[in-house]
Structure 1
């Protein structure tokens, strides 16, 4: 089981961090573009994209810091298993909530000529050429998908960490009984 902790845990944190960086870039683009054009579909959508941006920054900063501590081999309080479990639990709640609310706000999965219940795509474009580019609906759908992926990766890492701790404790208890 130490092999799993030593090899899978940093790999999962790397995946979490890279996915958060992708989400960070996309949400930053959406916020900048919508602020520039003054065309937020509604206040709820604007708040959700900003929440996703916060989640992406939160995950990128702490995920990258944790990876650096593990790679560096530093025995740091914040790089411990307990802090990792707390951070993963909080991050699961943040991503799961944001993804679930975005799913309910988007109303549907297929991207048609409208932003799945928000507004006509032509409001997002200055020219007909721009309308043929990637529509806002697909960008919003990508934000939601990346949020679900983040939630899944964090949950998988949290479960893996808890199982590792449980197995490690069981091994320590059985080792101490053998010595007696």
Structure 2
């Protein structure tokens, strides 16, 4: 029996590098890295929205201090949107960095998911803007329910903007690369 052949060890600097095939398809650095950047921004702002909205829902449930039933419903809707965004953006990030090539990691599902996410955030931001009371909170203390609600609305608009930009970039990228063979999987997107 022959002894096992020793293989080269992977240098530590190459252990955590994602599978970015940008050199193979001739894309620029910006084109090759916008998607992970935008999805990371969606995750981070989604986590901030999730934390603040969960705090407001918990405080409102504990003290029973809701300005209106619609306000409570909108906070729950925004809480759902934040959870939706964090879970799916994190999943897409894992699929993109892994280079997965299956149905949920392709361009069409990414466009569908981003369209749905942008729509959910746009609707929630508009309706919450009309539901929230207090205006710009000029006389409120620095930490108050009014300013926290204003922050929830601002983060909802931010999520809407980020998901819309990601959707537009994905559509433009898919349109400019539609003539190339094999660009419809996630390994070619990042």
Q: TM-score range by the shorter chain?
A: 0.7 to 0.9
Q: How many residues align?
A: 155
5+ long unaligned stretches in structure 1: 115-131, 174-180
Name the counterpart of 1:143. 152
Name the counterpart of 2:100. 74
In the alignment, the residues of structure 1 paired with residue 180 and residue 110 of structure 2 have an alpha-carbon distance, to the nearest angstrom, of 21
Relative to the length of structure 1, the TM-score reads 0.80
In the alignment, the residues of structure 1 paired with residue 134 and residue 69 of structure 2 have an alpha-carbon distance, to the nearest angstrom, of 19
5+ long unaligned stretches in structure 2: 1-25, 182-190
Contact 2:53 2:79 in 1 (8 A): yes
Provide Cα deviations, 1:55-78, integer angstroms capped at 9, x if missing partner: 000000000000011111221321
Change (3 A) 1:167 1:108: farther
Q: Secondary structure at the match of 1:172?
A: coil
Contact 2:57 2:75 in 1 (8 A): yes
Provide Cα deviations, 1:137-171, integer angstroms capped at 9, x if missing partner: 000000000000000000000000000011112x5
- Structure with a larger share of its residues in helix: 1
Cα distance, 1:35 vs structure 2: 0.4
In the alignment, the residues of structure 2 paired with residue 24 and residue 76 of structure 1 have an alpha-carbon distance, to the nearest angstrom, of 29
Alignment of 1:94-109 (within 5 A): 94-107=120-133, 109=135
In the alignment, the residues of structure 1 paired with residue 139 and residue 68 of structure 2 have an alpha-carbon distance, to the nearest angstrom, of 18
Question: Quick one: higher RCO (CA 8 Å, sep 6+), 1 or 2?
Answer: 2
Structure 1 residue 159 and structure 2 residue 168: aligned?
Answer: yes
Q: Secondary structure at the match of 2:100?
A: coil
Alignment of 1:50-89 (within 5 A): 50-89=76-115
In the alignment, the residues of structure 2 paired with residue 103 and residue 149 of structure 1 have an alpha-carbon distance, to the nearest angstrom, of 13
